[in-house]
Structure 1
Amino acid sequence: MEPIDLELEEGELELPAEPMHLNMGPSHPAMHGTVRIVLELSGETIVKADVQIGYLHRGFEKMCERGTWAQVFPYVDRLNYVSPMLNNVGYALAVEKMCGIQVPDRCQWYRMALGELARISDHLTCTGAMAMELGAFTPFLWFVKAREMVWDIMEEETGARLTHSFGRIGGMAAPPTRDFKELCRGALKQIIGIVEEGEKMLLKNRIFIDRLENVGIISGKDAVALSWTGPCLRASGVAYDVRKAHPYLKYDEVDFDVPIGKSGDTMDRFLVRLEEIRQSKRIIEQVLERMPDDGPVNVDDPRVILPEKRDVYTTIEATIQHFKLIMEGAKVPKGECYSYTEGGNGELGFYLVSDGSGTPYRVRIRPPCFPITSGLSKLITGNMLSDIVPTFGSLNMIGGECDH
C-alpha cells in the first residue's frame, strides 16, 4: 500500500482535518476601508473566498437626487476621496453633456492639470500603502511626502486639501492662481525624484519582489470579462484608457503613452501605476505650456453660472439670478445621458436622468472599484493567506466609490 503522503516519514499517518474558516475584516487594517472576506483555508492555502462589500454604504445616489444639480459636487468628492478632483471633473462633464455646454479652452486645460495632479495623488497613495503593508514603511513615508506636495497645490487652488468641491456646471469655482504653473513645475520635479528613490529601494529588494511576482495573476481576457478598467486592466496587457479611446477635454491634443503589463500579476499593477505617474507629469507639463494665462474659465450663461458676488450685492438682476440658481437649481434639459472619464481606478461613469427641473431625477454612478473588487475572490483563491494583503492592495479598492 502506498503512503498517503510521500513527504510523510515511515510510520507517520496524516489525519484528516476540517477546513478552517476565518473572517478577515471588515475592520482589518489591510482592508482599505471596510470589506469583509470570509475565508475557507486548508492550512494557509485559500480554498474559498467570499468577498463582501457594503459596509461603507451611504446612500450616495439618493442623496444626490434630493438637492440641486450643483449640490452634487460635495457628494462626488467623497466617492474616490483619494483623487476627488477627477470626480468633480467627471460629474461636471456629464451635466454639461446634457446641457450642450462646452467650457472655455482655459477651463479645459485647467481641469486636465488638476485632474492629472489628482491621479498622481491616487497612485502615490496606492503604491505607498501597498509597500507599507508588506513592511516597507520608509517608501510609504516618502510617497506620502510627495502626495503632500500635490495637496499643497490643491489647497492653494481650491482652499481645501482633500474634498475640494471645486467643479462647477459650466466651469470651475475660480480661475488658476497666479503661481499655479510655477508651483506645478517645482512640485513635479521633486515628486518624480521621490518616486525614483522609492523604486530603488523596493525594486531591488528580493523580499518585496517575491511577494509581488506571480501573485494575483489575471489574464486580459478574464479582466475584460469582469468589466475591469484602469491600471488593473492595463496591467493585464489591455491598453484601454478612456483618455485615448474616447478623448475628452484636450486629451487628444497632448502626447502620452498608455503603460501596460505582461503577466497581469501584482507586480505589474504596481509598476503600471508608477509609470502612469510619469505619464501624468508629461501631460501636466504640456498643459502648462498651452494653458492661457488669462481668459474666462466659466461659460457666459446665466442659466448655470452664478454671478459675481459684487454684482449680487449691487444689482437686482444678479440678485435674482443668484437666488434662483441657489434655491431652484439650474434647469437641465429633460433627457438622459451617460458620460465617462478616466478616473484614478479606471472608467468613472455617470448616468444622469433629468425631468427638466433643477433637481436630478436619477444619478447613477459607474464606479471602477466595483467590478475590480468583484474579481478579488478569483485572484486570491488557491494562493496563500499572506498573499491577500499585496493582491488586495494592488487593486486599490476605495470604499466610498465601491459602496457609494
Structure 2
Amino acid sequence: MSISGNSSTNKDTVGYLDRVSSEASLDDKGRSALSPPDGGWGWVIVSSSLITRVILSGLQSSSGFFYLKFEEKYHQSAALTLWMCTLPGVLRTVLGVGMCLVFSPSVIIVNQYFSKRRGLANGIAGSTFGAFLFPAAIEFLFEFYGFFGAFLIQSGLVLNIVVCGSLFRPLLIEQNCKRKSRQTTNPEPSLKREQGYVECCNKSHFVNRCCSHSNIKNILVDYRFLSYIIAVALFYVSNQSVYAFIPLLAREVGIEGHNSVYVVTATVFFAGIGRIFYGAVNDMRFFRRYKIIVYNVLMVSTGITYLILPAATSTFTTMCVLYSIYGFMTGCIISQKSVIMVDIVGVENLVNALGILLLFQGVGSCVGPIISGYITDTSDTTSGVIYFGGICTTAGAIIFSTANVVHWIKMRRRAKSGNDMSITSRNLIV
C-alpha cells in the first residue's frame, strides 16, 4: 500500500515539474529562461565572487608569515607548525566547513551565469586581484597590533564575505525577477506563476536528491575525471607549502626583512595576472578546442619550474622573477579548474564533481604540509620541499595527460570506424 502510494506521489511530482518547468523554460521572446545570461546580474556575481576569493586567497598566500609568527610564539616543529598554518584549507576541502561554505558557491554560481564567457568570468572571479596586498598588510598588523590584535582585525575583514554572499542570487530567482518586472499590467497571473516556481523549486529538491546518487556514480567511472582529481590532489600536496616556505627560502639565501614580503607580493600579483589572462585566452575561438591540452602543458611546466626554483634563486632579483613565473602558471591552473571540469563532466554535473574534487584537494592539502614539515625537520633546509612539490606536480600532470591521450585515441578510432556519427573535431580534442 505504502509502496504504491510513494510511486504515485513520485509520478505526480515528476509530472508537476514537467508542466511547471515547461512553462518556466521560455521567456517572453521564446528563449530558455534558465540559460546562462552571460552578463547582466552575472557581473555582480563575478564581482562578489572576486572580493570573496581575494580575502580567502590573501589569507592563504600569507601562510608563510603565519608560519613565522606561530613558530616564534609556540616553538614547535616545522611539521606541526606548517600543518597548523594550512589547517583552514584542510577544514574547507575535507570536512566542507569554514571557507568551503563560501568558496564552493562562489565557483558554482559563476559557472551557472556564464557559458560563452565562462573562461573569462572564472578568470576574473578567481583572479584574486588585491590579494597581493595581504602579505604586506598582515606583516604590518602583526608589527603594530601584536599577535592577538592582528587576528582580531583579520576576523573583522573576513566578515565582509557575508555582504558578498547576500548578492549570490540563484539563476531561477534572477530570471523570475526579470519576468515579474515586465508583467506590471497584470500582477495576479505573475503572482500565481511566482508561487508556482516556489512549489517547483521545493518539489525539484526531492527529485534532485533521487538523481544525485546516480550522477555521482557516473562521474566516478569517468577515467579522465579520476585522473584530473588525482592530478589536482598531487598539485595541492605542495602548493600551500610553497607559499608557507617562501619567507624561509628568502631567509636562507640572505633576503631579510621586508624584501621577503615583496617576493610573496610579486608571486600573488602575477598569479592574479595569470588567472585573468588564461581565462580570456580560453574563451578565444581558436584556443577553445585545445584548452585541455594547454592545461596539461601548464601543469608539466609548473612541475619543471618547481625543480628549477631552489638552484636558481640565489639573489633577490632572480627569486622575484622565478616566483613571479611560478605564480603566473599556478594562477592559470587554479582559475580554470571548474572550466576544465565542465568540459569533462558537463555543467549539469559540476556541483557533484566540484565536491569530489575539493575532497581530493583537501587530502593533498592535509598530507602535503605534514610531509613538507618532516622534510624540513630532517634536512634543515627548505629546498627539499620545493623538489618534492615539483615531483608531485609533474607526476599528476603525466597522469592527467595520459588519460587525455587515451581519450583522444579512443575518439579517433570511433570516428574512423564510423560507429558514432556524432563525433566531431571538438570531441577529439576535448
TM-score by length of 1: 0.29
Higher helix share: 2
- Between Structure 1 and Structure 2, the one with more strand by share is 1
